Amino acid sequence: MAKLWQKEYSLDSLMEDFTVSNDYILDQDLVISDVLASIAHARGLNKIKILSDNELNDLEKGLKQIIELKENDNFPITKENEDCHTAIESYLTDKFGDVGKKIHTGRSRNDQVQTALRIWMREFSVKLTLETAKLGKILLDFSETYKNIPMPGRTHMQIAMPSSVGLWASSFAEEFLDEAKRVENFIDILDQSPLGSAASYGVPLALDRAYTAEQMGFKKVQKNVLYSNNSRGKFEAMLLDLCDYIALTCSKLAQDLILFTLPEFGYFSLPKELCTGSSIMPQKKNPDGLELARSRSSVVSSTAFRVKSIIRSLPSGYNRDFQDTKEPLLVGTKATWSLVAIMAKMTEKVEVHEENLVKACVSDLYATDEVLERVKKGENFRDTYKSVGLNLDDVKTYDPYQTIKNRSSIGTTNNLCIDENNEYAKSVINESLNKMTQLKSAYKNLCEKEIEVVNI
Ligand code: ARG
């Protein structure tokens, strides 16, 4: 079918390749959310009498058929279509005649793509919140299991102070939970409908934007129509920045695991099925998954940067440059998703070697404890620090299990506040499960089916 904007000429084929690029392939991810938004839009047009009840009925029928086709992987979008929006309108016109030509009344592909992306990003963010909080919970459970196992604490990578496996693991748990919470907070911003902003300036029709927003389960309308369009890329970048922080934490966790599973350390190990081999060295058991977690995190970071670079100098209103923010959005979010999944799996499977951890607690680790023992008896800190520093060989051997019991202020080895953190994890997890239920019920109200728009 011809392009939506087709006039009396055909587009130069090189220009078509250049402008469409791979957008029509990427748009497969947006079909379901675009269909949902189209049902809401059609209902809105019916409400203001631009579509009759019968016409609405036909359009809803056709749009639901597209969901079926997509679920069977059978809704092609061709390069000639340019994007899913054209493919959807063409399908409706082919199957239902002239009513298909009415669906685009009062909307532009600019607010259409925004709405589809918004629906996709909103569900992705809910799912990412949930999975990141679950990863936090896995680490909390790990922390609880190993809270009494000593582990050398390091600064500058050197032996520093007594610590525990529990403290190490719950540091990452708290970090992931905070990150999950940040995504949860971001959903509040994301949860506003751009539909009705049209090409960037609204239309002279009495579109009921609040009604269509409510149909799609949005908390509110993104009011200013120009801001609605200008937020393309901006919201993507905000989400990718949050993904970047999650990926960064995954990378740091991966780096710690690479180090601590080295045979020279032997604190932890990973089961064989999570390691890969070498084509030449038969003894090798490599942590490739952890190494790729590090590198994928930089892929995520680059996507956030790419989107911001694309939108930074754009004048107000829609610009075609926006199209190129779609690929980094999909690449960055999907990479984050797989990172969280692989780190959850690895963390669940890490084996802890208590004997090696205790052996690693050498006397240097206790130098500060020694100083503080003497301070408790009345000596001043600085002189005692010097005296212990000059006689390190005399530092007595402490019981590593006892030293971690001796630390009891908030967040230290004997007071990791795991219960409080479990409550935190539970509240973030429940919040995202509730939000997902709300979204699913909005979808069901639109298409009478249990569906999800993000399938990764
Ligand atoms: N594929 C386009 C995009 O992602 C759809 C919008 C096209 N709008 C236009 N005015 N050419 O931005």
**Domain definitions of the chain by residue range:** 13-105, 110-208+217-358+417-447, 363-396
End-to-end CA gap in the chain: 30
Residue 430: name the closest of 120, 123, 134, 119 by CA.
134
**Residue written as token pair 């992931």:** 176
Residue range 110-208+217-358+417-447 in CATH 3.40.50.970: no
Integer CA distances (angstroms), 421 to 142, 175, 186, 308, in order:
13, 11, 21, 34
Whole-prediction pTM value? 0.96
Contacts of 177 (CB under 8 A, 6+ apart): 132, 133, 136, 421, 424, 425, 428
Residue closest to 452 by CA, chosen among 112, 165, 127, 130: 127
Q: Give the C-alpha distances (Å, rounded to integers) separating 2 from 9, 15, 323, 335.
A: 11, 16, 20, 35
Q: What are the φ/ψ torsions at residue 150 (nearest 5 degrees)?
A: -65, 155
Pairing state of beta strands 268-269 and 351-352?
antiparallel
CA pair distance 279, 282, nearest whole angstrom: 7
203: left (phi over 0), alpha (psi -120 to 50) or beta: beta
Exposure string of 95-107, with b = 16+ CB inside 10 Å and e = fewer, is: ebeebbebbbbbb
* Position in ligand 1 atom list of the atom nearest CA 85: 5
Q: Which atom of ligand 1 is nearest to the CA of 27?
A: 1
Quick check: do 13-105 and 110-208+217-358+417-447 share a fold? no
- Burial zone of 27 (CB within 10 Å; 0-12 exposed, 13-18 middle, 19+ buried): buried
66 closest CA partner among 42, 43, 97, 34: 34
Q: Does the CB atom of residue 7 touch ligand 1 within 6 A? A: no
Q: Are 292 and 275 in contact (CB under 8 A)?
A: no
Q: What are the two backbone dihedrals, phi and then psi, of residue 53, each rounded to the nearest 5 degrees? A: -60, -40
Q: Ramachandran region of residue 350, left (φ > 0), alpha (ψ -120 to 50) or beta?
A: beta
Residue 345: how many CB atoms within 10 A of its CB? 14
**Which pair of tokens denotes residue 76?**
């092609």
Residue 27 CA to ligand 1 centre (angstroms): 11
The protein residue whose alpha carbon is closest to atom 11 in ligand 1 is: 320
In the chain (456 residues long), the average pLDDT of successive 10-residue segments reads: 74 92 97 98 98 98 98 96 96 97 97 98 98 98 98 96 98 98 98 98 98 98 98 98 98 98 96 85 87 97 98 97 98 98 97 98 94 96 96 92 97 98 98 98 97 94
CA of 278 to the centre of ligand 1 (A): 47
Plot region of 186 (φ>0 → left; ψ -120 to 50 → alpha; else → beta): alpha
Beta partners for residue 220, in sequence order: 192
What's the CATH class of domain 13-105? Answer: mainly alpha
| Residue recorded with tokens 């190490």 | 168
pLDDT of residue 1: 55
> Ligand 1: distance of its center to the CA of 75 in Å?
20
Distance 456 CA to ligand 1 centre (A): 24
Contact predicate 388/365, CB 8 Å: no
Distance between Cα 323 and ligand 1 center (Å): 6
Residue in 79, 77, 80 with CA at minimum distance from that of residue 29: 77
Give pLDDT, residue 177: 98
Judge if the beta carbon of residue 260 lies within 6 A of ligand 1: no
Q: Take atom 7 of ligand 1 and give the residue whose Cα is closest.
A: 109
